[in-house]
Structure 1
Amino acid sequence: MKAVLVLLGVLLPLISSGQSGLTDQGLFFPKPSANSFVKLTPQKPLNLGAFTLCMRLSVDPNVVSKENRDTILFAYRTQKVDELNVWQEKGKISLCLQTSSDCAFYSVPLLSIFRTNLCVTWESSTGLTAFWVGGRRSTLQVYRKNHKVQSGGAVILGQDPDSFLGSFEEKQSFVGEITDVNMWDYVLKGDQIRNFNDKVWLGPEPNVLNWNVLKHDLNGNVLVVPEKYK
């Protein structure tokens, strides 16, 4: 019995550190904060000339939908700059690459108390950018043509880092649930993105961020939502 207890004492910290992926689980940020976030470890550096980023989200509209509140949905920051951010702000959803002032804004259905399947695609060679909400594509925009997302940063859920892994603001924090964050270093086909709505994903394996095997570090008041609530 003593040996079993010692073994559990070794295994439990490993389980709580989230090193085995988040298959059939989600992350719940129950209230606004300036210190609750999850750091994700990509499978490869985010040295990107194109990408598809998908995730499923639901929010507390009493917080997130307040007038003039900006809410970060996904953040990737290097030591010097916000490289890739996705926001709900000014009544729209936006993609910001290496800037916080020159973003691509989309008048698409906003997040709600019910789960939303959200994807964004971008390609440097053409600048073509689009958001997908529930499998439906927005109109295209040309944004940041010939730009390249730089490696060497940190991927953060829950907060917008104004410095590397720091300078968080409660008024911009995410409040709600996030799950199935996946990223590819190319633009998926429309039919593949529409399949993201299905419980069983039949598309290509995510090669930058893969929720099922993702290494992650929880900080502050963040709860891992078990499969029965998904």
Structure 2
Amino acid sequence: MVLEGRFNRQQMSYFQYHLFSFYSVLKWMEKLLVLLFLIYGCYAEHQDLSGKKFIIPVETSNSFVKLSGNISKPVTAMTMCQRFFTEEHRDQSLFSLATPSDPKDINLCMQSKGGYKLNIRGNSVTISGLPENRNAWISFCGTWDSKTGLTQMWANGRRSASKILKPNGPINGKPSIILGQNQGSYGGSFVASQSFVGDVTDVHFWDSVISPCQIKLYMQGKNFTPGNILNWKALEFTTGGGVFKEISDYNC
């Protein structure tokens, strides 16, 4: 009986040892899978997207493109340009920049009732009378200067009159830049009804108000000085949801 009890204890110890070893291997594999996900699932690509476009084909709250901007100092002025194609007649977010202190530092949307609305830190201006063609490419640029509050928009070569947004200080903090969704919080809180549905290409962002001549060159698809914060020819990005990267038909 003593030998049998000792044998049973040895069996139990052997079983416990191997069970613990198996559990340790599982935990190690779990950590490895997390690491692989971080490396391959969330790794931001850095690409020349010349001749390419992003397609967001359906209205969702989880399809987006996150852009990594080369921002090393507070933003006191900006120019944002992009080309987009949509058939939707509803409010759509074209560009969203948030910081930890304010999810709506910069938000540009196309409105269902007409016009483009630029919101900067709770102050907004709507500009009407610019091209808003559906099922056709629109080349768009918007500018803003924090010191004067002056803002202006361009679409397909036509410019708006200058408007005033309440002058504000610089935009500080690590930005979260999103195409396709409006950020209700820093990097998230997307709402499907505000999402963009269509194609986007040639996105550039400068931390200055670039000259009208440079904007005209962009509008005409000619050589211009690319964005120093976001550059379509050297873009670092990640995508989420049903976003596709395809050949652009803009220059066809």
- TMscore range, shorter length: 0.7 to 0.9
Q: How many residues align?
A: 208
Distance in 2, Cα, partners of 1:112 & 1:21: 28
Tell me the CA shift for residue 46 of structure 1.
6.8
Residue 194 of structure 1 aligns to a residue in which SS?
A: helix
Q: For residues 7-156 of structure 1, what are the structure 2 equivalents within 5 Å?
A: 18-45=45-72, 47-60=74-87, 64-65=88-89, 69-81=90-102, 82-89=104-111, 90-99=113-122, 102-107=123-128, 108-156=130-178
> Whose radius of gyration is greater, 1 or 2?
2
Which runs of no fewer than 5 residues in structure 2 stay unpaired?
Answer: 1-39
RMSD: 2.0
Separation in structure 1 between the aligned mates of residue 213 and residue 61 of structure 2, nearest angstrom: 38
User: Would the alpha carbon gap of residues 214 and 130 (structure 1) be closer, same or farther in structure 2, given more than 3 Å must change?
Assistant: same
TM-score when normalising by structure 2: 0.77
1:191 partner SS: helix
Q: Is the CA contact 1:78–1:152 (under 8 Å) kept in the aligned structure 2? A: yes
Distance 1:104 1:229 in 2: 29
SS at match of 2:218: helix
- Cα distance between partner residues in 1 of 2:158 and 2:150: 16
Q: Contact 1:35–1:220 at 8 Å: present in 2 too?
A: yes
Cα distance in 2 for partners of 1:205, 1:229 equals: 18
CA contact (8 A) 2:81 2:204 kept: yes
Moved over 3 A (4+): 227-230
In 2, Cα distance between equivalents of 1:190 and 1:122: 13
Displacement of 1:183 in angstroms is: 0.9
Q: Distance in 2 between matches of 1:110 and 1:147?
A: 31
Q: Secondary structure at the match of 1:192?
A: helix
The structure in which a higher percent of residues are helix is 2
Q: Following the alignment from structure 1 to structure 2, what is the Cα–Cα distance between the partners of residues 33 and 45? A: 32
Q: Secondary structure of 2:209's match?
A: coil
Q: 1:58 to 1:227 in 2, by over 3 A?
A: closer
Q: Percent same amino acid at aligned positions?
A: 32
Equivalents in 1 of 2:158, 2:95: separation in Å? Answer: 20
Q: How does 1:180-191 map to 2 (within 5 A)?
A: 180-191=202-213
Q: Which 5+ residue runs of structure 1 have no aligned equivalent?
A: 1-12
Distance 1:174 1:51 in 2: 22
Higher RCO, Cα 8 Å, sep 6+? 1
TM (norm. structure 1) is 0.83
| Partner residue in 1 for 2:221 | 199
3-state SS of 1:19 partner: strand
AA matched with 1:124: S
Does 2:252 correspond to 1:225? no
